[in-house]
Amino acid sequence: MNAPPVELIEAPAAAATGGGESVQVRVLLQLRELILSGELPGGTRIAELAIVERLGVSRTPIRAALVRLEQEGLIEPLPNGGYMVQSFSERDIADAIELRGTLEGLLARLAAERGAPAVVLAEARQCLAGLDAVLATPQLNDEGFSAYVALNSRFHGLLCEMADSPTITRQLERAAGLPFASPSGFVVLQAHSGRARDMLVVAQDQHRQVLDAIEQREGARAEAIMREHSRLARRNLSEVLAAHPSEAHSGSMPAIRMIRRRR
């Protein structure tokens, strides 16, 4: 994302692209957190203009973020325009994450057992090298987090290519549209904090482990790693709850209270 331009004349365009992507990621995080915090509760109608005024950004990143949130199953389009915030429960989220982990685990096992194409494995290694570079800094800025989201999505896409199973991939795409089930459906109230980065480092280690298992043709191991990998999303939600216990208990964050783990 912050690669130096090849020629001086290309510098402004490259900078604009990186800035636009970081704004889009920031808007996506803010909207996702408004839903999670209960400031935009289930049933609330979301209009582009209202969000533009609230966040102080242009319509372009707002539209991109709304499309992404629809794909994640957090909002749904309304017939007369705009979107409505979906209602979801703890069980909905847990089941969605478990389903994604099951399907990605199956894809990883098939990739290992069938033998992944060398060219796709090479692309995956390059992708992980890019993620290593992003995580080399002690704390991510907007551009770094944007780069992580893009590379993480690419790695999960390459996993589908390794397995070469259109049938399972289609089901995975449907599962990723459920609440918080997307591989990049991060829910962090402090996206660039050290704790958030630590969780991404754990995820990156699992990326490397599953790629190694696939290359070594260890299907059962690859499947187990990917199923555990998906559960980081639940740990991520737990971090949000732990970071704001008073709000969760007081009821000022109803959506957080709704997705707390049952005792």
**What CATH code is carried by the domain that includes residue 65?**
1.10.10.10
> Are residue 80 and residue 118 in the same domain, yes or no?
no
pLDDT tens profile 208-251: 999 999 999 999 999 999 999 988 877 776 666 555 554 444 44
Q: Which helix (H) or strand (E) holds 109?
A: helix 90-114
> Are residue 80 and residue 110 in the same domain, yes or no?
no
Query: What is the structure's pLDDT at 149?
Result: 84
What is the rounded average pLDDT for all residues in the chain?
78
pLDDT tens profile 164-173: 999 999 999 8
Look at 42 and 203; give whichever has higher pLDDT.
203
> Are residue 37 and residue 142 in the same domain, yes or no?
no
CB 162 within 8 Å of CB 125: no
Query: What is the structure's pLDDT at 34?
Result: 82
State both tokens at 225: 């790693």
User: How sure is the predictor about 192, in pLDDT bands with cuts at 50, 70 and 90?
Assistant: low
For 121, the domain range is: 90-243
Of 88-102, 110-124, 205-219, give the lowest mean pLDDT range: 88-102
CA 4 from chain centre, in angstroms, equals 27
Place of tokens 């998906």: 230
Q: Is the dihedral of CA 200, 146, 243, 94 positive or negative?
A: negative
Q: Which residues contact 62 (CB under 8 A, 6 or more apart)?
A: 27, 48, 51, 52, 55
> Are residue 101 and residue 81 in the same domain, yes or no?
no
- DSSP for residue 224: H
Query: What is the structure's pLDDT at 10?
Result: 21
Query: What is the structure's pLDDT at 42?
Result: 83
> Are residue 108 and residue 229 in the same domain, yes or no?
yes
> Are residue 138 and residue 188 in the same domain, yes or no?
yes
Query: What is the structure's pLDDT at 131?
Result: 96
> Are residue 49 and residue 19 in the same domain, yes or no?
yes
Report whether pLDDT(253) > 80: no
CA–CA gap between residue 220 and residue 113 (Å, rounded): 9
> Are residue 226 and residue 165 in the same domain, yes or no?
yes
| 145-166: burial string, b at 16+ Cβ within 10 Å, e else | bbbbbbbbebbbebbbbbbbbe
Query: What is the structure's pLDDT at 93?
Result: 76
Of 63-67, 121-125, 233-237, give the lowest mean pLDDT range: 233-237
Please count the structural domains in the chain.
2
Q: Over range 132-155, report the average pLDDT.
A: 87
pLDDT tens profile 70-83: 887 788 999 988 89
Q: How far is CA 255 from CA 16, 189, 247, in A?
A: 35, 13, 11
In the chain, what is the greatest distance between 2 CA atoms, to the nearest angstrom?
59
Query: What is the structure's pLDDT at 231?
Result: 83
Q: Which helix (H) or strand (E) holds 163?
A: helix 142-163
> Are residue 138 and residue 171 in the same domain, yes or no?
yes
Query: What is the structure's pLDDT at 242?
Result: 59
188 is a domain residue: yes
User: How sure is the predictor about 184, in pLDDT bands with cuts at 50, 70 and 90?
Assistant: confident
> Are residue 72 and residue 162 in the same domain, yes or no?
no
Q: Indicate the residue among 51, 85, 119 that finishes a domain.
A: 85
Q: Over range 114-132, report the average pLDDT.
A: 97
User: How sure is the predictor about 20, in pLDDT bands with cuts at 50, 70 and 90?
Assistant: low
> Are residue 183 and residue 133 in the same domain, yes or no?
yes
CB 85 within 8 Å of CB 75: yes
Report whether pLDDT(132) > 90: yes
Q: Over range 248-255, report the average pLDDT.
A: 41
What whole-number percentage of the chain has pLDDT above 70?
A: 76
Q: Which residues contact 248 (CB under 8 A, 6 or more apart)?
A: 241, 256, 257, 260
Query: What is the structure's pLDDT at 181?
Result: 77
